[in-house]
């Protein structure tokens, strides 16, 4: 957890931002998020800039293309793969420009193996999640691609300590057996929890960077992610229930960083940043956790990505998250 020692009172974004101007967005993110900036993602640019296309562009020796039904594996790299790689390069160029001289944690995001498997179709048309061998190949390819990606980010921003956020919005559905087949008429069989944990542990253990796992879906498997080696867990706090209390308490006491999604991710007015984190304080009191841990164990974020917000609101949301995070340090009770 050493990399997180300087994050007391920190805020960050989930990843996606509105618009299509990489330089302008990187400039805004670097200006607002001084303690934990992140690599912006701009899905409004189209296929290849979206979460799945961007993640597929990181794969090694596996290639994808767009079909009317979505993303599908193909035999060789084509226009869609090249476009995903090109846009990621453009975003990294912009990040490099606006983080010159930066020292400290820097977050990059990539879609996780189970969400990729539940989103990309095999050549015959069914989702990769239906084939255990395909899932293993995909996880291995993603691990290799992420190693290269992390090395590239370190080369571009040599003063940074790079932190990886794995986006796994489909993980609860994968474990529950509620991911729809490619036809949409049935659901794929649930993945065994030990298998899901093993794949994540192998991926996380194969990377030389702290890994956070983000999911803005209900039912995030907190103990599974901790056992898999996640250094932090990013959640939409509005979806938590008291049934999550024990898991959250054990996570905090075990040193896991919590990224609390409390600032609305679509346009909304909120005049009191401190009010955004009142639910976090309430949770802390309910769990009987030490108030002085609050600012050190919690990073404030929007509830999910900001791609659906207006550019003006997205900037306000990040600024609100920063002020709310500071309030956890200044007024922990």
Cα–Cα distance between 261 and 264 in angstroms, integer?
Answer: 8
- Cα 238 to Cα 256, 286, 295: the distances in Å are 19, 16, 19
Give long-range contacts, CB 8 A cutoff, 24+ apart: 149-158.
Answer: 149/58, 149/108, 149/110, 150/108, 150/207, 150/208, 150/209, 152/92, 153/39, 153/92, 153/95, 153/106, 153/108, 156/92, 156/95, 156/96, 157/95, 157/96, 157/99, 157/102, 157/106
Q: Across the chain, what does the average pLDDT equal?
A: 93
Handedness of CA 259, 264, 267, 268 (dihedral sign): negative
Share of the chain above pLDDT 70, in %: 97
Section 73-83 average pLDDT: 91
Structural element, H or E, at residue 205: helix 193-205
Q: What is the DSSP letter of 267?
A: S
Domains of the chain: 2-330 (3.20.20.210)
258 versus 274: the higher-pLDDT residue is: 258
Q: Interhelix angle for 132-156 vs 193-205, to 10°?
A: 30
Give 25-36 pLDDT, tens digit per residue.
Answer: 999 999 999 999
pLDDT category at 272 given cuts 50, 70, 90 is low
Give 206-248 pLDDT, tens digit per residue.
Answer: 999 999 999 999 999 999 999 999 999 999 999 998 899 999 9
pLDDT at 4: 77
- The model's pTM: 0.95
Give 296-319 pLDDT, tens digit per residue.
Answer: 899 999 999 999 999 999 999 999
CB 7 within 8 A of CB 255: no
Sheet holding 232-236, edge to edge: 104-111, 160-167, 211-215, 232-236, 257-263, 298-302
Cα–Cα distance between 76 and 86 in angstroms, integer?
Answer: 17
pLDDT at 222: 97
pLDDT at 330: 85
Closest C-alpha among 15, 40, 9, 28 to residue 322 = 9
pLDDT at 184: 87
pLDDT of 58 over the 90 cut = yes
End-to-end CA distance of the chain: 24
Q: Given the DSSP bridges, would you call strands 70-74 and 63-67 parallel, antiparallel or unpaired?
A: antiparallel
pLDDT at 245: 93
Cα–Cα distance between 199 and 262 in angstroms, integer?
Answer: 29
190 versus 291: the higher-pLDDT residue is: 190
pLDDT at 124: 87
pLDDT of 249 over the 90 cut = yes
pLDDT at 1: 45
Give 118-164 pLDDT, tens digit per residue.
Answer: 999 999 889 999 999 999 999 999 999 999 999 999 999 999 999 99
What phi and psi values does residue 67 have, to the nearest 5 degrees?
-125, 170
């Amino acid at each position: 957890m050493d990399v997180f020692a300087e994050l007391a009172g920190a805020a960050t974004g989930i990843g996606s931002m509105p618009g299509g101007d990489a330089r302008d967005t990187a400039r805004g993110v670097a200006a607002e998020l001084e303690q934990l900036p992140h690599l912006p993602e701009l899905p409004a640019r189209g296929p290849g800039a979206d979460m799945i296309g961007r993640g597929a562009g990181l794969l090694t020796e596996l290639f994808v293309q767009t079909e009317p039904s979505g993303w599908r594996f193909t035999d060789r790299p084509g226009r869609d793969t090249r476009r995903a790689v090109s846009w990621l390069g453009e975003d990294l160029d912009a990040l490099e420009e606006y983080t010159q001289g930066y020292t400290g944690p820097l977050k990059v995001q990539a879609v996780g193996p189970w969400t990729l498997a539940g989103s990309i179709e095999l050549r015959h048309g069914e989702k990769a999640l239906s084939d255990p061998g395909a899932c293993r190949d995909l996880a291995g390819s993603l691990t290799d691609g992420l190693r290269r990606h992390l090395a590239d980010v370190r080369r571009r921003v040599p003063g940074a300590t790079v932190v990886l956020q794995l986006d796994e919005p489909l993980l609860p559905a994968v474990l529950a057996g509620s991911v729809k087949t490619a036809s949409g008429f049935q659901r794929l069989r649930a993945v065994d929890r030990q298998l899901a944990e093993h794949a994540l542990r192998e991926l996380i253990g194969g990377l030389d960077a702290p890994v956070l796992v983000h999911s803005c879906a209900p039912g995030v498997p907190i103990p599974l992610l901790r056992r898999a080696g996640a250094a932090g867990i990013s959640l939409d706090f509005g979806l938590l229930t008291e049934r999550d209390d024990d898991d959250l308490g054990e996570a905090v006491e075990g040193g896991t960083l919590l990224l609390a999604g409390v600032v609305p991710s679509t346009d909304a007015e909120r005049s009191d940043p401190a009010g955004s984190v009142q639910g976090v304080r309430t949770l802390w009191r309910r769990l009987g956790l030490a108030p002085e841990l609050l600012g050190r164990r919690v990073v404030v974020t929007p509830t999910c990505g900001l791609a659906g917000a207006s550019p003006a609101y997205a900037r306000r949301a990040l600024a609100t998250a920063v002020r709310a995070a500071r309030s956890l340090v200044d007024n922990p009770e």
